[in-house]
Homo-oligomer: A and B are copies of this chain.
């Protein structure tokens, strides 16, 4: 453990979210002992991503280009704009195959405890994007957590003030679940939103 380059690596790996000193040690030992090729692959991927990945000028998601592939796709419905928190959420919606509009990716959510307010979230960018004259409906698909709900609430106010129709993903019982095992808050919401 008196190894300067090993210690530097363990220190650096602690920059990863959710990785403490024990995990960092385990990762460093594993890579150096069993997968030095993997270590170099990670190093190269990090360098390239830091150099190349930027935000799409239209939807704010990560992309290598000025405008991302989805925003470049002119076959989509320009009247709908779906607001999501992360590229992973966007990918989940895309996988459903049931949405053909465009997206705006917040890259986070309002989190007062972490000092992330509406301005830090780039809410103004969303207002500009939604005011392009083509968007008619903004679908808020932020998480159904306290922070996600707060984010949706704040964004809805700004969007409605601009005369846009604002909707929210339906809350309800997940597909494939037995009512017995669904939490009460979800059942209550599903009752209220029954159709």
Sample (11) of A-B pairs whose CB atoms are under 8 Å apart: A2-B70, A6-B87, A9-B46, A9-B48, A12-B42, A12-B45, A12-B46, A15-B38, A29-B87, A33-B107, A39-B46
| Given A27-B17, A29-B88, A88-B25: A5 touches B39 (CB 8 Å cut-off) | no
> How far is the CB of A85 from the nearest CB of chain B, in Å?
10
Within 8 A of B (CB), among A1-58: 1-6, 8-9, 11-13, 15-18, 22-23, 25-33, 35-36, 38-50, 52-53
For residue A78, CB closer than 8 A to chain B, the reply is no
| Given A15-B38, A33-B108, A87-B6: A28 touches B1 (CB 8 Å cut-off) | no
> How far is the CB of A99 from the nearest CB of chain B, in Å?
14
Q: What number of copies of this chain does the assembly contain?
A: 2
| Given A16-B27, A25-B88, A29-B87: A50 touches B36 (CB 8 Å cut-off) | yes
- Mask of A68-97 contacts with B, CB within 8 angstroms, 1/0: 111000000000000000111011001000
A13 to B86, CA, bound (A): 18
For residue A143, CB closer than 8 A to chain B, the reply is no
For residue A63, CB closer than 8 A to chain B, the reply is yes
Q: Please, how many residues of chain A have a CB less than 8 angstroms from a CB on the other chain?
A: 58
Complex partner residue of A42 from B13, B48, B69, CB under 8 angstroms: B13
> How far is the CB of A20 from the nearest CB of chain B, in Å?
12
A13 closest partner in B (C-beta): B42
A20 to B91, CA, bound (A): 17
A87 to B1, CA, bound (A): 6
Complex contact B86–A5 (CB within 8 A): no
Find chain B residues with CB under 8 A from A87 CB.
1, 3, 6, 25, 29
Complex partner residue of A1 from B38, B47, B52, B88, CB under 8 angstroms: B88
A88 to B22, CA, bound (A): 9
Complex contact A12–B32 (CB within 8 A): no
